[in-house]
Structure 1
Amino acid sequence: MGNRDIEKNRENYPNYHQGPPPQQQQQASSNYVIVSDKRWKSWLVPLIVIADIAIFIVGMVINNCPKNYFGVDSCFARFLGRVSFQPLRENPLLGPSSATLLKMGALQWERVVNQHQGWRLISCIWLHAGVVHLVANMVTLVLIGVRLEQQFGFVRIGILYLVSGFGGSVLSALFLQRNISVGASGALFGLLGAMLAELFTNWTIYANKAAALFSILLMVAINLAIGMLPHVDNFAHIGGFLTGFFLGFILLMRPRFGWLERHQLPDYARVKTKYLPYQMVFYFIALAVLVAGFVVGLVMLFKGKNGNDSCNWCHYLDCVPTSRWQCDT
């Protein structure tokens, strides 16, 4: 992300506390740079990491590979006993079986729609297919989530995380009806989408706008490209990203300069409205799109619709077949 301006430009206003010269007073009130930025202590993101690790360990205990697996291959790392992994041929990510994941709440279209288990749209966010999957997601969560929570607080980031994960689950269930899906990737992509929206809606406070935009778009592009590999649920990524993007315009707006400091600035530098007009335009457009998207998506899902019927090319967003792999295997 780009560096934020924390202080007023001292070169233009060397006697800031006494007020700038009269000819520059109007210019002062139109400078929307944040003077001070309250920082929260991050505790929610570490708590999510601990919870995900604990749930994974519980899943491995329930899996109990040595007792429940009778295949040709032996359980991997059998010396771990009850928490040893399924054979690598079945699960190369070092984790439990698909049956165990389903038992614990993995996302599956059949169970959500026909067995009325809508809670799986949320429970799947807390499950991971293996150690590799878990570590990759938790490292990403710490790198992105801690900073966002410090800037915006646990309430807004908690809402972003859960709603984005839910949005990713809805899109995944609509398009991947024959497979199961687990993981926090949709929620993590939601945080990336929110970062991009935050850049746009708080555009005036960024010192290096181009660098901030490039870094975020690069991260999103790389992760979406990885999602086109087989056995990766890219629809959860896309759904989470879009949900987080629109939520970012709603939850991550920063007040304009002069509002946060209205009790410290002289009269000529104070502003009466908390947000800029373009921020409010983004807010209402994002709110309308988000509500409409969830309504349409949930209605289609619980009516048993297949998203691929409405978009016959969308399956390429999830997997692109090559000479090395087929997407339907």
Structure 2
Amino acid sequence: MLKLLALDRFTILLFVMVILASVMPVSGQAADVFGSITTVAIAILFFLHGAKLSREAVLEGLMHWKLHGLVFAFTFALFPILGLLAKPILLPMLGQELYWGFLFMCFLPSTVQSSIAFTSVAQGNVAAAVCSASFSNIIGMLITPLLVAYFILGQSTHNFDPTSSILQITLLLLVPFILGQLLRPWVFPQMKKMPKIVKVFDQGSILMVVYGAFSSAVVAGLWQQVSLSTLFALMVACSLLLTIIMLLTLYIPRALGFNRADQKAIFFCGSKKTLASGVPMAQILFIGQPLGMIVLPIMIFHQIQLMVCGIIANMWSKHSDVRIEE
């Protein structure tokens, strides 16, 4: 049942971090120290992501610019449009901070690891998925702060400098990623020798960020502000958004004449949002804001997308001889 619902160990640990932060939140000077350690861990994480990315896969995937353009349109145009159109309904239902988090989620790039993994399981175009998901994360370091500046913080009294935020995100995420790419010939062979350690560090750094974010939110009174009915409404909103996006990422590539393997890559890359990049970006972009409420929508959406994509990928892998159009 856990495999069917895509409830792997990492997903369970995410919930554990939320519970731990609710019961034993880190605060005060300890929170500052923990935040510094987390920042270093995130930088190392993106260094490892850069080292894992094959240059051959990038070169092969870059040739498929039509596919990447469509994924880009889903990620940075369609998602934001749907999020903005939902404002009249979601803002009074969720409140300003949770709606900001929902809209921020719509502005985020796609996932990298899960997009590639699900495309591989479904026997799609893995090379294109590697390139498309990676490009989405890199360009998202520029586009996401600009969208947040204009549509969220630009509409508030919060003094926000997108240039400063882009620079911080570049130093924290992009520079380590590029450094990992440059040092890949020496680093990647060592990573292959200890895959379990790399995986533990990969997931552990995200768990640290989630724990820190929710700790600060709990200290600020998160669970006094978010009722069960509001939480349920947020889950429904995330589910409806994912349903609409998945239907569009399934049928539009088919109508445009992409082959089956490309359709699968577009489906998995264009329908998801990243938690790994999202939470560190939120820490930089929403300084002084209720961070726990900002990242709550992406955490919920992240789990729903894993569950649904896991089921679909397994179904397609068992029926690889059946046309995706059927």
TM-score (norm 1): 0.25
Determine which structure has the larger helix proportion and give its number. Answer: 2
Q: Give 1 or 2 for the bigger CA radius of gyration.
A: 1
